């Protein structure tokens, strides 16, 4: 399967712990996006990379959140000192420039539960 892959699918953690999620985009896609989705809402943009460069960060992305894409392939999203309000589905999407650009393909998401 060459779609967008996210791991883990589910993560349960205690408040105050750090968590890290991984996203593997479609291999030829140079853009990678992170979103947060809470129950009953649409996805909210968090940040996006073009290759290894992080080009945009939403104001939603507090200092406790950090994302990396060290080699322009997979990306990680880390949340430090988790809070109950961080509980959500974290979605990753990828796209490519040129051709059918601006079409984002989504992964299945990582559901985070902070107890």
CA–CA gap between residue 32 and residue 52 (Å, rounded): 9
Closest distance to other proteins from the beta carbon of 45 (Å): 5
| 40 near other proteins, rule: CB under 8 A | yes
Whether residue 8 is preceded by a cis peptide bond, meaning omega within 30 degrees of 0, is yes
Q: Which of the stretches 17-25, 60-68, 76-84, 106-114 binds other proteins when contact is defined by CB under 8 A? A: 106-114
| 104 near other proteins, rule: CB under 8 A | yes
Dig out the tokens for 61 from the structure: 């992305």
| 91 near other proteins, rule: CB under 8 A | yes
CA–CA gap between residue 81 and residue 96 (Å, rounded): 33
CA–CA gap between residue 21 and residue 77 (Å, rounded): 5
Q: Which is nearer to other proteins, 82 or 104 (CB)?
A: 104
User: What are the residues binding other proteins (CB under 8 A)?
Assistant: 3-4, 33, 40-45, 48, 56, 91, 102-109
């Amino acid at each position: 399967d060459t779609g967008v892959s996210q791991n883990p699918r589910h993560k349960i953690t205690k408040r105050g712990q750090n968590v890290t999620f991984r996203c593997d985009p479609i291999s030829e896609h140079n853009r990678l996006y992170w979103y947060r989705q809470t129950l009953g809402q649409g996805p909210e943009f968090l940040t996006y990379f073009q290759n290894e460069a992080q080009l945009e960060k939403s104001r939603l992305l507090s200092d406790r959140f950090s994302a990396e894409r060290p080699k322009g392939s997979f990306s990680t999203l880390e949340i430090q000192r988790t809070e109950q309000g961080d509980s959500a589905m974290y979605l990753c999407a990828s796209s490519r420039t040129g051709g059918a650009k601006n079409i984002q393909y989504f992964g299945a998401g990582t559901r985070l539960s902070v107890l």
